[in-house]
Structure 1
């Protein structure tokens, strides 16, 4: 059994057996535990789970979006990535500009009411088209505030200066690989009210030893079934990209979670995933002609040998 799936499935089993029932912001309800850590040896393969298909191209486009410093979902929509749509959509339907049918609590209602789900999908389609083709609308309702890309690439300090945290890490690795300050922080307390979703993966740190780059990322809140597989793959890819930029091999990826939970409407899906046998992990190949991580495109990152079980659908709690 590959260790990536094993440690992830062990976490799922632990929450189901030992977790505590809790209410949450979305009204869905969770089974939760506090404080959990997973470790992945990136030399053993790329940790894209095989017990369900994880759409790698969505992982790639989201990470490239972060690295661009972008906060508008237009880039994601242009790359057929819809994992952030609900937050921009919520911003629109809660505004005075929205004149369509009532979309309150759309995340839950769309799962329970087929007639409402049809209306929701119609309004979401309108939203997506307007973000793609209406610049003013895109600026107002496609922009999610100062989320990850802004914090990673354009952190605004109390001194009035703007800091590129990713570039700082790259420069510091090359200058002083033994540094204990290879840290990026996305949690800005003064900007939480302006963000559609305050950062869940709020900080990460790199560590260099024996010519290998390792990364630990920290999450205040983890949706184990839908979110965590993406987060693991995204930070693994980020580690590969920074290792490439800094002429290093990859080492270990470490996840540390605080409130680690399974939503109550994901339990059946988790149990289905637990019944599946893991398969060999894939690998990735980067285009060596690209000189900077900021210049990578979707076509420059290739996934090799991915043979997972089929996808398992589940609703997103918004």
Structure 2
């Protein structure tokens, strides 16, 4: 696996999309514009194409927020990380937050105050006293999100107590196992990183949206395929693309 750093890596990102808005560009003019721009930035263009597809063919659905969505199922995007990094520019992406949140996941933390202290407030809405009380978590301190991503990555199956507890070697350290397997048995087909733990879902302030990733090694290159059960195309997806691309690069190196 020593050539992983030299050869780079490839991420294959699979997402289910939701959320849309009105588009003022007609189909015919959009097609002409798309054809002229696809060669300039294919990574960005596939995202824009998918947004257009959702706006054109998406089905109206109700959701828990009451806002409603336009939704399609099983859409895919692929990003080649060998020579570039998929940080989209059509929408401003908070890069520092991408990095800090990923490191927060990797650390196993579930305390939103860790991010708040770094002036990153992307989890504030799900960590407020009002929100936690409304979800039935009145016994938790403000900021305690429950056994979300980081806890599942590093302590899957452990009994969650609070965000301040130390869990040591409790549960399964999925991330550590994946890295070890990549180096010792790279053809293994069980390199799965799962945030979806049905037992813990009721304890989470927000169930995981990007819930499963599979890693794959071929020709000394690392690929990652991500599945999202739910994805906000305008807000969350550009962030998630960058986050899992970064995770793939970090593991490969």
Q: TM-score category by the smaller chain?
A: 0.7 to 0.9
User: Does the alignment pair 1:24 with 2:63?
Assistant: yes
Partner in structure 1 of residue 229 of structure 2:
220
Partner in structure 1 of residue 156 of structure 2:
155
Gaps spanning 5+ residues in structure 2: where? Answer: 1-39, 160-169
1:28 match: secondary structure: coil
Residue pairs, 1:65-104, within 5 angstroms: 65-89=104-128, 90-92=130-132, 94=134
CA contact (8 A) 2:132 2:205 kept: no
User: Does the alignment pair 1:58 with 2:97?
Assistant: yes
Q: Structure 1 or 2: larger helix share? A: 1
TM-score with structure 1 setting the length? 0.61
User: Does the alignment pair 1:38 with 2:38?
Assistant: no
CA contact (8 A) 1:48 1:54 kept: yes
Residue pairs, 1:1-318, within 5 angstroms: 1-89=40-128, 90-92=130-132, 94=134, 140-156=141-157, 162-244=171-253
CA contact (8 A) 2:135 2:205 kept: no
Cα 1:186–1:96 change in 2 (3 A) is: closer
TM-score with structure 2 setting the length? 0.76
1:97 CA displacement = 11
Q: Structure 1 or 2: larger strand share? A: 1
- Deviation per CA, 1:69-89: give whole Å up to 9, x if none: 000011101211111000011
Partner in structure 1 of residue 36 of structure 2:
none
RMSD of aligned Cα (Å): 2.2
1:95 CA displacement = 8.1
CA contact (8 A) 1:91 1:141 kept: no
CA distance in 2 between partners of 1:190 and 1:91 (Å):
21
CA contact (8 A) 1:3 1:40 kept: no
CA distance in 1 between partners of 2:135 and 2:91 (Å):
37
Gaps spanning 5+ residues in structure 1: where? Answer: 99-136, 245-318
Cα 1:95–1:193 change in 2 (3 A) is: closer
Partner in structure 1 of residue 11 of structure 2:
none
Query: How many pairs were matched up?
Result: 204
1:59 match: secondary structure: helix
1:204 CA displacement = 0.3
- Deviation per CA, 1:246-279: give whole Å up to 9, x if none: xxxxxxxxxxxxxxxxxxxxxxxxxxxxxxxxxx
